[in-house]
Structure 1
Amino acid sequence: MKFLHYLDLFGISYEQPYLPNKKTYKSSFGGFFTIALYSLSLLYFVYKLHSWLSGNINPKSTQTYQVLNNVDLQLNYPLISISFDQNTQQLDPLNSNEMIIQTYLITQQNQSINIVNVEAQNNNKIVLDNFNFSLTNSQTSLYPTQTLIALQLCDKKTQANCASDEKIKQFLELSGISMKIDMNFLYFNAQTNQFERITKSLSYAIETDVTLLNVFQLQTQKNIINNGFLFDNMVETQVVNDVQIITQSVKQAYFKNYLNGLIAVYEFNLNQLTQIQSIQYTKISEILADVGSIISTLMMLKGLAIAMNTYLLEELLNQQIISCYYPQFKELSINRNLFGQIKSVQHFNSQIDLIEFNKFYTKAKQVALKKQTVINQIYEISRLQFLVQLSIDKNKISQSHKFGIPLHLDFNNRSNTIVPFDDSIQASDRDKIYGNEDFNILTLENI
């Protein structure tokens, strides 16, 4: 059993109450302070939780760059759309029935060249969707390593739907012919946790005697998004977020290996330098930790309430102890200011001299504080022991261990019924044994 007692982790410490059923002193000031601190803590928690749920807390974001040698990029959104300016609406060069300009999609993969004729769609625009790229030309490449969009005046030898020579001539005589290229890039919006599309528009003049070569170096971005609620939830995506353009004019014979008489060529390549963006969303554990740190800071103010309660408890105990020795002290009405200083003292309707009272009260509190110490209590008990030893015979003092109030089993308070509980007590001392009603004969009544 002793071993079990030793292992008990749920033992409690005995706390002596300062008043009956009161082991902890509490005050109105402490209650007000508790309401204020916990209300502020709750309001801050609600504020942080609302900010977190509404996406107003910005995630942690870091950006680095990395050189990649092998990349297979698949885009599931339209990257490029080609159209002509409004001056050519009367003579739409991309009209599939009367085509003035032909568009070709040229791709190269593993030394293999593929040329596809592309027709205008979506409001007379050439929209190239689902672009796929590979960075290196190797046997493991999944997608083309080189992609070109080539524009050529419609050749009746290869295309049956070409416009008449008169319309083609009329188109070429228009002044200021320009072609518009819209490129769509994706940017991640951290507040909405979604990708947003941003369009960059470029315009190029059309010339028929030379080939306009535009090289587009696509800047890719790899997004590593951790949007877990409590644990990590990693989501990786790779998008095109920018482009670098190199423009020059070359002779039409430069692209004779592909097609003859090209008026514009747009080449698309991937840039080896890739941007790595890591986005760490705030988890609920971080919100709770943040709120906990603020609450801990606020709870530092509880020291003020504890100090105030300590002062009030000391004052209460001092007044109780002083009242034990000076019963009339309870009849005094002591008025204090906000800082606890005594402003006036009254005994019923009589005003007490404040200076003299303060002298008395200061000295009385010093004595009361001493009486509360364990050493002083033991000392006073030892003095009482010596006084008892000087006044009472030693044998009678030894018999005090056998003294007590006999328990009447019918539990009445008949004081005239005396039942000695020990035969060793002398008959002359038996009439000094008290009854049940004397159990609290020395107990302080008004506590």
Structure 2
Amino acid sequence: MLTILEKFDIFGVPIKLKTIKQQEQFKTSQSGVITIIIMILSLAYFIYVIQQWINGQLIPKVTSSQRMIDYTTYEWQNGEISFTLYDLSSKINPFTKQNNIIMTVLLEISGLYVSAEPRFLYSTLQMNGDKNVITIDKGKLVLSQIDGTKEENQENIKQYFVFFTKCRQDWMEEGGYCADPQEIEDYFSTNHGLLFLSINLQQYNYETLEFDEIKKTQFFAFEESSPFYSQVILQKQLTTIDNAVLLNSFQKFEVIKDYQVNTQAVSKKFAQDTIKTQDGSKFEFESLCTFVFRIDNIEANETILMPKLGEVLAQIGSIVNIIMLLKILSNMINTAMLESTILHQIIEIYYPQFKQVQITKNFLGQVKQVRYKGVEIKLAHFQHKYNQLLEIARMKFTFNNLIQELSRVQLVLVNQIGMENIKKIFKIEEDLKFFEQDRSSSSNSNFQVQNLVSISPEESPKRQEFERFVLFNTEFSQ
């Protein structure tokens, strides 16, 4: 049963041999430098991306689309729509409630008829003496193109009809009055610049995670002799935002994304003839300009998905993987250094004198200086001989050569001590010293084994024969 369970184990660890430095892997200082560079670059990029993510500087995923709608509303409270007269020829404010010259009238149109009492708009802000501002402080527009039965909370279509006309005392509200007729005529005898229409639009800020108001302005020539009619079409946008860190958390907002203006020249009586009341009465006036505000039946849909923590970490990981390509260079260096070290150790096994040789190499592993017992050796002569030894060691450091040499050792043992003695050696096990009861029975057999493998001093090769290497008999460099 335990054997079956072992087969399902996916967390097995490899059995590793250790190097001479008691390490499971061969490591070099050159590779250590590359590792430090990789760690510094990876950490720096991690901090950079995380800081960008916290500050909202990473580009989110944004998808946009459009759809036809048959019902929607837009309501505002903070003066989203305003008119400004940039009059360079006069410092007179024509929109004041007292001494009024130009009246601005707002009519609420439901269907084809006026559905509420007129609202008179007066200037409440005058900046730098030449900016005359009229603001529609609050309002509500309704788009309703529903065929059939409406729901209880759905209203009829509602549009705003705003026109500018000369002041009329019979329309003036309590507390207000018109300027003298002569003053009005004198005012219109000169050109008074441009009329600016400004509407506040909303755009989502990816850094602050809030909507910013952006004022978009259109301008029109303002002349008594050139009346015009402008249709202002507001385009709504349904913005869906997901700015959660881990899980999805969608929030929906309805904002005004943009507006379009269609303008055409009309007569002074155009607005008068266009407006209708339910009781059949008419407004009699001459308009200087007319604006109609309505909601477009094409709604924009925008989905904003802010980067989540998982996406940020994935982005960091992809760049770190590219940085980790330096690992290839590090592996090449370690492989070359490991091979060089092992080959040198093989040479030391055959020629123990090499243990007293001091070889100085540069960062790339090239030999720069060689000393033997403190005396410098000619580099050219040493390099030639050393390369020959490296080639021999490289041939010995192969799997086939190891098998071949082991087979030769086996043949030597068979010829020297016999196959039967070898079999006895494999059957004999080493006894622990503290098992006193076994020492008496095993001492004789151990002694026999030692006799089988021992070699007389006169038969053993002399140390000088292993150390014989012509390189060290040549003259040293001065």
Any conservation in 2 of the 1:406–1:421 contact (CA below 8 Å)?
no
Q: Tell me: CA distance 1:330–1:163, structure 2 relative to 1, closer, same or farther (3 Å).
A: closer
Distance 1:81 1:430, change over 3 A: closer
| Counterpart residue number, 1:440 | none
Separation in structure 2 between the aligned mates of residue 42 and residue 27 of structure 1, nearest angstrom? 22
Secondary structure, aligned partner of 1:21? coil
Q: Partners of 2:257 and 2:60 in 1: how far apart?
A: 22
User: Which of 386, 389, 392 matches 1:361?
Assistant: 386
Instruction: Name the Cα RMSD after superposition.
Output: 3.8
Q: CA deviation at 1:309?
A: 1.2
For residues 12-57 of structure 1, give each alpha carbon's deviation from its aligned partner in whole angstroms, at most 9, with x where no partner exists.
2212223262221111111111111111111122222223333433
1:111 CA displacement: 5.7
2:24 — aligned with what? 23
Task: Indicate the larger mover: 222-231 or 28-37.
Answer: 222-231
Cα distance in structure 1, aligned partners of 2:236 and 2:23: 71
Report whether the alignment pairs 1:135 with 2:143: yes
Q: Which amino acid aligns with 1:318?
A: L
CA distance in 2, matches of 1:233, 1:169: 64
Q: How far is 1:342 from its partner? A: 2.8
Contact 1:109 1:143 in 2 (8 A): yes
Question: Which of 416, 441, 448 does residue 429 from structure 1 map onto?
Answer: 448
Aligned partner of residue 231 in structure 2, secondary structure:
strand
Aligned mates of 2:118, 2:158 — CA distance in 1: 19
Gaps of at least 5 residues in structure 1 are 412-416, 435-447
| TM-fit CA distance, 1:327 | 0.9
Residues of 1 paired with 2:11 and 2:294: CA distance? Answer: 71
Task: State the one-letter code of the partner of 2:420.
Answer: N
Are the aligned partners of 1:99 and 1:161 in contact in 2 as well (CA < 8 Å)?
no
Superposed CA deviations along residues 75-101 of structure 1, whole A, max 9, x for unmatched, are: 454232246566776675541x66555
| Residues 239 and 91 of structure 1: CA distance in aligned 2, closer, same or farther (over 3 Å) | closer
What's 1:442 paired with? none
**Partner residue of 1:149 out of 142, 145, 162:** 162
After TM superposition, the score normalised by the length of structure 2 is 0.75
d(CA) in 2 for partners of 1:368 and 1:115?
105
Residue type of the alignment partner of 1:329: F
1:341 to 351, 366, 373: 366
| 2:42 corresponds to | 41
* Cα distance change of structure 1 residues 155 and 132 upon mapping to structure 2, 3 Å threshold: same
**Does the CA-based 8 Å contact 1:109-1:137 persist in structure 2?**
no
For the 8 Å contact 1:418–1:431, the answer to whether it is kept is no
* CA 1:162–1:375: 2 relative to 1, 3 Å: same
Change (3 A) 1:238 1:163: closer
- Encode CA deviations 1:245-287: one digit per residue, 9 max, x unaligned: 3132225251463522142432112334444445443333333
Question: Structure 1 pair 161/202, CA: closer, same or farther in 2 (3 Å)?
Answer: farther
CA deviation profile, 1:128-169 (whole Å, cap 9, x unmatched) = 234332334446453633221234555555656486677244
Instruction: For structure 2, list consecutive stretches of 5 or more residues without a partner in the other structure.
Output: 127-132, 278-282, 454-478
Over 3 Å counting, the alpha-carbon distance change for 1:403 and 1:229 in structure 2 is same
Q: Which of 232, 236, 261 is the matching residue for 1:244?
A: 261
Question: In 2, Cα distance between the equivalents of 1:352 and 1:158?
Answer: 116
Aligned-partner Cα distance in 2 for 1:159–1:372? 110
- Of stretches 42-51 and 349-358 in structure 1, the one that deviates more from structure 2 is 349-358
Structure 2 partner of 1:397? 422
Secondary structure in 1 matching 2:45: helix
Q: Which residue of the partner structure matches residue 445 of structure 1?
A: none
Name the structure 2 match of 1:217.
Answer: 233
Deviation per residue, 1:303-322 (Å, 9 max, x gap): 11111111111121122222
Give distance in 1, aligned partners of 2:171 and 2:396: 117
| CA-to-aligned-CA distance 1:347-386 (integer Å, 9 cap, x gap) | 2244445455344433433343344444433332322222
Identity among equivalent positions (%) equals 22
Q: Using the alignment, how far apart are the partners of 2:410 and 2:435 within structure 1? A: 35
- Aligned residue type for 2:118: N
Which residue identity is paired with 1:215?
A: Q
- TM-score, normalised on structure 1? 0.79
Structure 1 residues 245 and 192: CA distance shift in structure 2, 3 A? farther
Distance change >3 Å, CA 229–CA 426, structure 1 → 2: closer
Query: Which letter does structure 2 place at the counterpart of 1:271?
Result: D
